[in-house]
Structure 1
């Protein structure tokens, strides 16, 4: 019984094309024949390989594969001697081809992964270079002799989601040392977005001690009270003691001082 193998019926069996009686006879034979069992399992493995969804390689990759396949055919010659078990030999060859395709797809996926990583690195480098150019332009504008240019440089802060220490310090210097009231007010407003920074808090306190413009003084007082900065209490008390402090500034301080002491 085992010599009468059913190799040629395996494809029809897997596709469900055998009649009920032929299918029963096939399964009965396979139960008793180890060779046919092995052939059936190999054929199932081959079908499973082609049922899996795989990414489609690029045209360039497919062209290379087809050229390699054509070269292999030429190397083997036009005439191929078939063995006595054509179905088994065919299955073995197809499984080799399936393995080659699987390796090709894996190579394609690895290539895509490396290309994506390289692209991400290039984008990150480009973003870094762009931020450096923006920072250079911003710092240069803030040192310009024209007040309007310095204001333009301060407003450049909108281009940075997370400005570094150099930018924060440059804005602090504008608030503390710029001779133009409008530039100082613009610098104060720019720094107000980063009041969690200790540099900004300390800058506000220092500016409060030396600022002469009442509008800027009020803005700084309100900002310090909003963030509940306890260290601002002493500078506010000193302003209360100064004779040249505007009366409405003193009223403002008296109103808010209890909330931070």
Structure 2
């Protein structure tokens, strides 16, 4: 259990139905596995939402409507004038049709109630998922401001949880790229941002970082990314790097190879 995650056992663990030995093993694994800890917290949120969800039963309003319809039907069917046998048969058939219509109305009402209940459940699930996403975003932004470089890298790598990050996340990542003192944090921030090069914020951050970045590996990576998206605003900063005496020869060579593809 040290090497394998225990995600499949977490629902039974939360329900307290695991054997004692397995439960102890799960707890031991959780103490050292951040991924499973995160899954456990998300399951707790989901279980709480399910526990708070009311049972899908007909509402008092629906029951009252049915009882009123039934009373009205009784009042209508008792007003029968006996004229002939043929009329009685006709009245009986008419009443049967009314009863059938009432039953159909009741079934339709229950079906509508079920649809509304399902919609409410879907809305609740969407709410839980949004809350979970907000928690992840808060954790990510907090980690990126941590004093520990390894924690900041962990925060940057949280980007995998956000296929469509909002502006706050993108801004936080660009700040790590431009201002973080640790080379590995800046490199991880670049790799995270390189998935969103269609963003003007990301393009601007790459161009600005190109003029201040001192790590050759990150410089090369930024140049290649700007060349790949053919960002014309990068032409000026690249030419300035070519003119600077302290620019490494292989960096200048990379720029010379890339500039014609942009121009």
Could you tell me the TM-score, scaled by structure 1's length?
0.69
Q: Name whichever of 153-162 and 125-134 sits farther off.
A: 125-134
Deviation at 1:60, TM superposition (A): 6.9
> 1:155 aligns to what SS in structure 2?
helix
Pairing of 1:92-111 with structure 2 (within 5 A): 92-111=94-113
Mind listing any 5+ residue stretches in structure 1 that lack a counterpart? Answer: 1-57
> 1:228 aligns to what SS in structure 2?
coil
Indicate how the Cα distance of structure 1 residues 99 and 176 shifts in structure 2: closer, same or farther if over 3 A, else same.
same
In the alignment, which residue of structure 1 is the partner of 2:242? Answer: 240
Deviation at 1:146, TM superposition (A): 0.7
Q: Deviations over 1:139-178 (max 9, x none)?
A: 0000111111100000000001111000000000000000
Which one has the largest radius of gyration? Answer: 1
Query: Matches of 2:152 and 2:221 in 1, distance apart?
Result: 20
Indicate how the Cα distance of structure 1 residues 60 and 115 shifts in structure 2: closer, same or farther if over 3 A, else same.
closer
Deviation at 1:106, TM superposition (A): 2.2
Indicate how the Cα distance of structure 1 residues 121 and 244 shifts in structure 2: closer, same or farther if over 3 A, else same.
same
- Whether 1:116 aligns to 2:118 is yes
Indicate how the Cα distance of structure 1 residues 231 and 59 shifts in structure 2: closer, same or farther if over 3 A, else same.
closer
Indicate how the Cα distance of structure 1 residues 239 and 59 shifts in structure 2: closer, same or farther if over 3 A, else same.
closer
> Which among 210, 213, 216 is matched to residue 208 of structure 1?
210
* Segments of 4+ moved more than 3 angstroms: 58-61
Deviation at 1:235, TM superposition (A): 0.7
In the alignment, which residue of structure 1 is the partner of 2:52? Answer: none
Mind listing any 5+ residue stretches in structure 2 that lack a counterpart? Answer: 1-55
> Which among 227, 251, 258 is matched to residue 253 of structure 2?
251
> 1:145 aligns to what SS in structure 2?
coil
Q: Deviations over 1:11-62 (max 9, x none)?
A: xxxxxxxxxxxxxxxxxxxxxxxxxxxxxxxxxxxxxxxxxxxxxxx9979x
> 2:147 aligns to what SS in structure 1?
coil
Query: Matches of 1:259 and 1:95 in 2, distance apart?
Result: 79
Q: Deviations over 1:187-244 (max 9, x none)?
A: 0000001000000000000000000000000000000000000011111111111111
Query: Matches of 1:143 and 1:251 in 2, distance apart?
Result: 36
Query: Matches of 1:98 and 1:82 in 2, distance apart?
Result: 22
Length, aligned pairs only: 196
> 2:261 aligns to what SS in structure 1?
helix
Could you tell me the TM-score, scaled by structure 2's length?
0.68
Do 2:58 and 2:113's aligned partners in 1 also have CA atoms closer than 8 Å?
no
- Whether 1:225 aligns to 2:201 is no
> 2:198 aligns to what SS in structure 1?
coil
